[in-house]
């Protein structure tokens, strides 16, 4: 049975492992931009992120408490002259352990995150997907996400 909850300090080793996995997906798709096996945060940085209510991190665990996936989020507020006041929950990173993919872990994480955002009064939930990750794009499409802006590049 999958359980989604806020991440705790005891989850940091498993989260670091997942961060390497998601980094390698990006490295394999865009080795010109992403370095090989590494993480974007240290254990100490993760401690601070986990302690901040503006950067909630969720984990999905199995019945034995093993972390099978994570979702890093950031609460954002916008508004002013050009934009209506609103709160957005930005999903910065989602990863399901490569040995647990296809078991509904990603769906459970996303559904939990969407419910949490509704509870917090967010107007929307956003995320970015690299074009080199068509599986992730299809996954988010199945969950009801749709493009709201497109990033483009020219390599010089």
Output the pLDDT for position 29.
Answer: 95
Q: Which DSSP string corresponds to 14-50?
A: HHHHHHHHHHHHHHHH-TTTS-SS--SS-HHHHHHHH
- Dmax of the chain from CA atoms? 50
Output the pLDDT for position 155.
Answer: 87
What are the tens digits of pLDDT across the range 42-64? 999 999 999 999 999 999 999 89
Q: How many domains does the chain have?
A: 1
CATH number at residue 112: 3.40.630.30
Proportion of the chain above pLDDT 90, given as a percent: 95
| Domain boundaries, position 72 | 3-142
Report if residue 152 sits inside a domain. Answer: no
What are the tens digits of pLDDT across the range 91-144? 999 999 999 999 999 999 999 999 999 999 999 999 999 999 999 999 999 999
Report if residue 25 sits inside a domain. Answer: yes
In the predicted model, what is the mean pLDDT of the chain? 95
Report if residue 92 sits inside a domain. Answer: yes
Report if residue 147 sits inside a domain. Answer: no
Vertex 47: Cα angle to 61 and 4 (nearest 5): 20
pLDDT grade, residue 1 (50/70/90)? confident
Output the pLDDT for position 70.
Answer: 98
66 neighbors 6 (Cβ within 8 angstroms): no
What's the full length of the chain, in residues? 156
CA distance 67 to 12: 10
Report if residue 9 sits inside a domain. Answer: yes
Report if residue 69 sits inside a domain. Answer: yes
Output the pLDDT for position 102.
Answer: 92
DSSP letter at 110 equals: H
DSSP letter at 71 equals: E
Report if residue 149 sits inside a domain. Answer: no
Report if residue 15 sits inside a domain. Answer: yes
Output the pLDDT for position 6.
Answer: 98
């Amino acid at each position: 049975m999958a359980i989604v909850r806020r991440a705790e300090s005891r989850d940091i080793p498993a989260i670091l492992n997942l961060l390497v996995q998601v980094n390698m997906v990006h490295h394999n798709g865009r080795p010109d931009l992403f370095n090989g096996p590494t993480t974007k945060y240290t254990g100490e940085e993760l401690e601070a992120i986990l302690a901040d209510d503006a950067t909630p991190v969720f984990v999905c665990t199995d019945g034995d408490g093993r972390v099978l996936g994570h979702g890093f989020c950031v609460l954002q507020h916008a508004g002013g002259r050009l934009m209506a006041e609103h709160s957005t929950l930005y999903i910065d990173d989602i990863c399901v352990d490569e040995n647990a993919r296809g078991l509904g872990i990603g769906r459970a994480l996303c559904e939990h995150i969407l419910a949490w955002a509704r509870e917090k009064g967010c107007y929307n939930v956003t995320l970015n997907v690299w074009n080199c990750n068509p599986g992730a794009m299809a996954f988010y499409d199945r969950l009801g996400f749709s493009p709201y802006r497109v990033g483009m590049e020219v390599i010089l």
